[in-house]
Amino acid sequence: MANVSSANLHYVGPGFANNVEIHRVIYDFTVDGGASADVIRLLQFKSACTLVWGYAKVLTTCTSGGSATVIVGVTADTDAIMDATAGAVANLAAGFIDGNSATPVKIAADDYLLLDIGTADLTAGKIEVVIGLLP
């Protein structure tokens, strides 16, 4: 499993009770690569929490020599934020936004927010992922 550039790997810890914590992380092909079957750890959850919403926004168009797919989620629900249909490279043009998180997802301590590349390699792209968590 690959990590977003280790200098950019964020750890999410306990927050304030009764407040939704908002966290933002960016996958960038030029820094993080994009080989098919890569599962990139975007951030780690240091304590148990609940994902209450999330979205992925394409900042720079994703390209591929094939039919790459991108899914974004957590260990317990790998496509909680973006599934392979929405994350098909044909959809991943700059400005595209997808948020699949209609149902809250329980996250265990030490789990990860993941970006999974499938079917073919990516050759370019930048995706911002923003999530709302209840501690």
CATH of the domain at 96: 2.60.120.1110
**Residue 60 domain-assigned (yes or no):** yes
The boundaries of the domain holding residue 24 are 20-134
**Residue 11 domain-assigned (yes or no):** no
Report phi then psi at 55, rounded to 5.
-150, 160
**Residue 13 domain-assigned (yes or no):** no
The number of folded domains in the chain is: 1
- For 34-78, the pLDDT digits (tens) are 999 999 999 999 999 999 999 999 999 999 999 999 999 999 899
**Rounded CA separation 49/68 (Å):** 31
**Residue 110 domain-assigned (yes or no):** yes
**Residue 7 domain-assigned (yes or no):** no
**Residue 112 domain-assigned (yes or no):** yes
Per-residue pLDDT at 135: 84
Q: What is the pTM of this model?
A: 0.86
**Residue 6 domain-assigned (yes or no):** no
**Rounded CA separation 93/126 (Å):** 10
Report the chain's mean pLDDT, rounded to a whole number.
90
